[in-house]
Amino acid sequence: MSVRHALLALLSEGPKYGLQLRQEFEARTGDVWPLNVGQVYTTLQRLERDGLIRSDGEGEVGPQKSFRLTAAGGVELDGWLRTPPDLSSPPRDELVIKVLVASGVPGVDVHDVVQTHRRHIVQLMQEWTRLKRDSSADELSLALVVDAELFRLDSVIRWLDAADARLRRAASTRAPSAAPNDSVAASQLASGAPDPTVARETEISR
Amino acid sequence: MSALQLIHVSKTYGRGATEVHALLEIDLTVEPGELVAVMGPSGSGKSTLLTIAGSLEEPSSGLVTVGGMPLSRLSRSEQAALRRRSIGYVFQDFNLLAGLTAVENVSLPLDLDGVAARTARAAALAALDRLGLAGRADRFPDQLSGGERQRVAIARAVVGERHLLLADEPSGALDSVNGEAVMRLVRDTCQGGVAGVVVTHDAQLASWADRVIFLRDGRIVDQTARVQGPESLLDADPAR
């Protein structure tokens, strides 16, 4: 998975310190992907070098320095969220992260991101099915390989469908209490506070 | 000429507070020989789209044409004749008549259309033969397996000179191998020039289509591009 883009996503919510980024990264990913602090700072240095983030203050990176997303970083993040992952094994983790991350990024419609990936995967399945259709009946190995790929991709589609439905349900159950005060809803969205329900369900689905 | 066209088709049920928009401004064109799959969650409007395309229901607004003929210009009896002659339906639960044999079920649309009994039976036997069921023609539905019953339903849907095949979850509760066999038959039927529309929530079934349309809340929200050749898959990294 891309630590680099996960950090950009966290910074899309506002300026943050390195240690804070590490803690939030681990919390958002259900503590499934531990991250050492050295990796965080190395990645931040590279992001700054590439112009995707900028730091407040001079000197070496460290706990006293905070970082913020640049416009180029925003473009990079948006592009990454919408770029279909490489579906070589194991493919689902990257997709799970993208959907998890997208649900907290301000200005990104997570359902739009889900649909982008759903379409891409169905297109891949169409190509595999066509391969099976065009093969002769005695090409058993090919049929088995294609079936394996189709079932794998089908499971990804099913997860996307379930995630889409859960996110819609979560949004609709949140809506009544949030409706009287849009600014509260907006600040909750901007803070990207993880929805414990979604986090739990995601953990179960793994 | 397009086999099926839906132009700005909307369907609303109820009024006022109970008003439900099942379909909103649907534009869809299906060419002869093309198989289109419609995917979407429950309640997205998939089945409504199919019943309107098959003239089983009228849209609240918009235009539906089958073989270039606007359905709104046809009388009820003309629409019924169109359904018998040009449109074939395949349903999830097969909808075979239990008291009729396989060949009688298949010849039924032709019988109803006034085709001579001998001609209708010959056409039905030919359709069953194409689907590998020639030896089962005189069996009743309860003497057939689930896969065979669905093949009979497909034979009934394509018997005669049908131009449009409409299928709602056509593999029903069949296992994946029989489900694949059903989609292969639907695909082959379209290959022969029939236009097909399959609604399903199953991505594996949808992947047999040339094009997949995604419905949500009565609207087409997305669709796949036409399928490219599979060569790109074969050239891919062997690790895939």
Q: Could you tell me if B239 lies within 8 Å of chain A, comparing CB atoms?
A: yes
Does B205 score more than 80 pLDDT? yes
- Cβ within 8 Å of A, B 18-77: 39, 41
pLDDT one-digit tens code per residue, A27-53: 776 555 678 888 899 999 999 999 999
**How many beta-carbon pairs under 8 angstroms link A with B?**
74
Could you tell me the pLDDT band of residue B53, with boundaries at 50, 70 and 90?
A: very high
Nearest partner of B197 among B15, B47, B19, B76, judged by Cα: B47
| Contact state of B224 with A87 under an 8 Å Cβ cutoff | no
Q: What is the ipTM of this complex?
A: 0.85
The whole-angstrom distance between A90's CA and the closest CA on chain B is: 10
Predicted pLDDT at A21? 92
Sequential DSSP letters for A149-186: HHHHHHHHHHHHHHHHHHHHHHHHHHHHHHTT-HHHHH
| Contact state of B230 with A87 under an 8 Å Cβ cutoff | no
Predicted pLDDT at A60? 62
User: From CA B110, how far away is CA B121, in angstroms rounded?
Assistant: 9
Predicted pLDDT at B134? 86
User: From CA B121, how far away is CA B117, in angstroms rounded?
Assistant: 6
Long-range contacts of A187-195 (CB under 8 A, 24+ apart): A189/A104, A189/A106, A190/A13, A190/A14, A190/A106, A191/A13, A192/A10, A192/A13, A192/A28, A192/A104, A192/A105, A192/A106, A194/A27, A194/A28, A194/A104, A195/A103, A195/A170
> Which chain A residues are Cβ-neighbours of B234 within 8 angstroms?
131
A interface residues, B as partner, C-beta within 8 Å: 87-89, 115, 118-119, 121-123, 125-131, 133-134, 149-151, 153-154, 157-158, 161, 164-165
| Contact state of B224 with A119 under an 8 Å Cβ cutoff | yes
Architecture per CATH, A3-82: Orthogonal Bundle (1.10)
- Boundaries of CATH 1.10.10.10 in chain A? 3-82
Predicted pLDDT at B147? 85
Does B237 score more than 80 pLDDT? no
For the residues B176-183, what does the mean pLDDT come to? 83
For the residues A166-172, what does the mean pLDDT come to? 90
The whole-angstrom distance between A119's CA and the closest CA on chain B is: 6
Predicted pLDDT at B113? 85
| Contact state of A154 with B204 under an 8 Å Cβ cutoff | yes
Q: Please tell me which residue, A50 or A201, carries the higher pLDDT value.
A: A50
| Contact state of B240 with A157 under an 8 Å Cβ cutoff | no
| Contact state of B224 with A122 under an 8 Å Cβ cutoff | yes
Could you tell me the pLDDT band of residue B146, with boundaries at 50, 70 and 90?
A: confident
pLDDT one-digit tens code per residue, B86-135: 999 988 777 899 999 999 999 998 998 889 999 999 999 998 988 888 89
Predicted pLDDT at A59? 62
| Contact state of B223 with A88 under an 8 Å Cβ cutoff | no
Nearest chain A residue to B220 by CA distance is A115
Which domains are assigned to chain B? 25-228 (3.40.50.300)
| Contact state of A161 with B41 under an 8 Å Cβ cutoff | yes
| Contact state of B227 with A119 under an 8 Å Cβ cutoff | no
User: From CA B55, how far away is CA B71, in angstroms rounded?
Assistant: 7
Q: How far is CA B128 from CA A116, B21, B84, B116, B133, in A?
A: 41, 40, 18, 18, 5
Predicted pLDDT at B236? 46
Predicted pLDDT at B239? 40
pLDDT one-digit tens code per residue, A65-96: 899 999 999 999 999 988 887 766 555 568 88
Predicted pLDDT at B65? 96
> Which chain B residues are Cβ-neighbours of A127 within 8 angstroms?
227-230, 232-233
> Which chain A residues are Cβ-neighbours of B224 within 8 angstroms?
119, 122-123, 126
Interface test with chain B among A109, A133, A166, by most B beta carbons within 10 Å:
A133
Could you tell me the pLDDT band of residue A187, with boundaries at 50, 70 and 90?
A: very low
Predicted pLDDT at A195? 42
| Contact state of B41 with A115 under an 8 Å Cβ cutoff | no
The whole-angstrom distance between A128's CA and the closest CA on chain B is: 7
